[in-house]
Amino acid sequence: MRTAALVLAALTVAAPAVLTAQATPGQEGTFVIRGATVWTGAGQTLQNTNVVIRDGRIEAVGPNATAAGAIEIDGRGRFVYPGMIDAFTPLGLSETGGISTMNLRSEMGEYNPHMRAVVAINVDSDMMAITRANGVTTAITAPSGGVISGQAALVNMAGWTWEDMAVKQTAAFVLNYPRQPSFRFGGGNPAAERAAGERVAGQIRELKTVLSTARAYDQQRAAGSDQTDLMYEALRPLVRGEVPALVSADTEDQIREVVEFGREFGIRVIINGGRDAWKVRDLLAQNDVPVVLGSIQSTPASDAPYDAVFAQPGVLHEAGVKFAFSTGGGANARHVPFHAALAVGYGLPKEAALRALTIWPAEMFGAADQIGTIEAGKVANLFVATGDPLDIRTQVSELFIKGRRVPMDDRQTRLYEKYNARPAGN
């Protein structure tokens, strides 16, 4: 009996560790961050300033802002920034590579505009907890595969359900514009190149036919037709220009094609990747086409200047092209501020780097009325840090998502606490 009692006691002690395997979406309430330096993202850096958070939103910002009965947070010597945004990830859709049941990012078929990434999100993703611990409160989570992969969502990194997490359930349609494969190392095969060119031309014609049909379908539905088609119904916000297309394009020719494609069909396009966007920066600026940059921590092409990838953000900024940073992955999404920091080292003004992590992606994906700056009335997505978030030495001490004070724990910290408490000799 004594042995059974000891086992039961051990299980009782262990139970809380299991129950708290994932952090809650955070503590609700009214909060006042006092005496901090606040970078608002709206053109101001305010010294010795208070930020009041109530009912999930920023109620007031100012030296005398306060709220009776609020939970006090000492911000003296600390800095407050809007939550950062990674503008292209698989977060919540892909957890562990190589395990099919933990990867919900891609569907069969070439045209899946009706597939919504937001409904497949794993709200208990360990990667989200790791990401938000570095001040990244929001991200684009995007499907992949095919020509039209589906609908990308702009989601917060904490929440009870996918509905709770969604900032924009449909932030963009992910479109992989057909492209000619590279034959640079293929030994030169004219027949193969010609066949590939014909295949790509056929894919482009098919894509344009799909969008032309979608536009005609939208007109019929607007005129009162009650005949519906799942795929074309999903495309109506795209052909109306209500939701942008996030289109993969890297080379100069590909980017020019995508810009022309957008003009032809009257749809808003955002270049995704944009490795050679600097070569067509004037075209992008003239057509108000923004860019979600691929990883800045990547190797330039063999025929490009050594600093082409690192200096590109500064070059685009100087030309008046709006852009956002992305990591393209889940495990490293927390590093997105360091991508911006690398760009600063190669000529991008620091203010622009911070905007490209906050308000610019919010604007690009239609959420600037909710997030991206620290202003009264906006959703309280923000963090308190010991210094500049572009500095790898900076620590995030407080994090708020939708006005909730989110615990600063993740899988790594929980494992640390677990094994730090391990009895000696065991």
Interhelix angle 230-239/190-222, rounded to 10 degrees, is 90
Residue-wise pLDDT tens digits, 209-248: 999 999 999 999 999 999 999 999 999 999 999 999 999 9
Q: Is position 257 within any domain?
A: yes
Range of the domain at 261: 84-370
Angle value at C-alpha 224, between 218 and 227, nearest 5 degrees: 70
Mean pLDDT of 101-108: 58
Check whether 100 has a pLDDT greater than 60.
Answer: no
Q: Is position 426 within any domain?
A: no
Q: Would you state the pLDDT for residue 3?
A: 42
Q: What is the CATH number of the domain that holds 120?
A: 3.20.20.140
Residue 24 CA to residue 133 CA, distance in Å, equals 14
Residue 364 CA to residue 274 CA, distance in Å, equals 15
| Phi and psi angles of residue 226, each rounded to the nearest 5 degrees, phi first | -105, 10
Check whether 108 has a pLDDT greater than 80.
Answer: no
Check whether 191 has a pLDDT greater than 50.
Answer: yes
Q: Would you state the pLDDT for residue 32?
A: 98
Q: Is position 152 within any domain?
A: yes
Residue-wise pLDDT tens digits, 147-162: 999 999 999 999 999 9
Residue-wise pLDDT tens digits, 58-71: 999 999 999 999 99
Confidence at 119, pLDDT banded by 50, 70, 90: very high
Q: Is position 185 within any domain?
A: yes
Q: Calculate what percentage of the chain has a pLDDT beyond 70.
A: 89
Query: Which of 177-181, 247-251, 372-376 comes out lowest in average pLDDT?
Result: 177-181
Confidence at 1, pLDDT banded by 50, 70, 90: very low
**pTM of the predicted protein model:** 0.88
Residue that wins the pLDDT comparison between 374 and 23: 374
Q: Would you state the pLDDT for residue 104?
A: 57
Provide the number of structural domains found in the chain: 1
- Is the separation of the CB atoms in 347 and 307 below 8 Å? no
Q: Would you state the pLDDT for residue 10?
A: 37
Question: How far are the Cα atoms of 167, 291, 373 from residue 332, in angstroms, in the given order?
Answer: 21, 20, 24
Q: Is position 284 within any domain?
A: yes
Highest-pLDDT range among 16-25, 94-103, 194-203, 303-312: 303-312
- Is the separation of the CB atoms in 30 and 52 below 8 Å? yes
Q: Is position 147 within any domain?
A: yes
Q: Would you state the pLDDT for residue 184?
A: 54
Check whether 319 has a pLDDT greater than 90.
Answer: yes
Classify 103 in phi/psi space as left (phi over 0), alpha (psi -120 to 50) or beta: beta
Q: Is position 247 within any domain?
A: yes
Residue 159 CA to residue 189 CA, distance in Å, equals 53
Q: Is position 402 within any domain?
A: no
Q: Would you state the pLDDT for residue 377?
A: 97
Confidence at 22, pLDDT banded by 50, 70, 90: low
Check whether 5 has a pLDDT greater than 60.
Answer: no
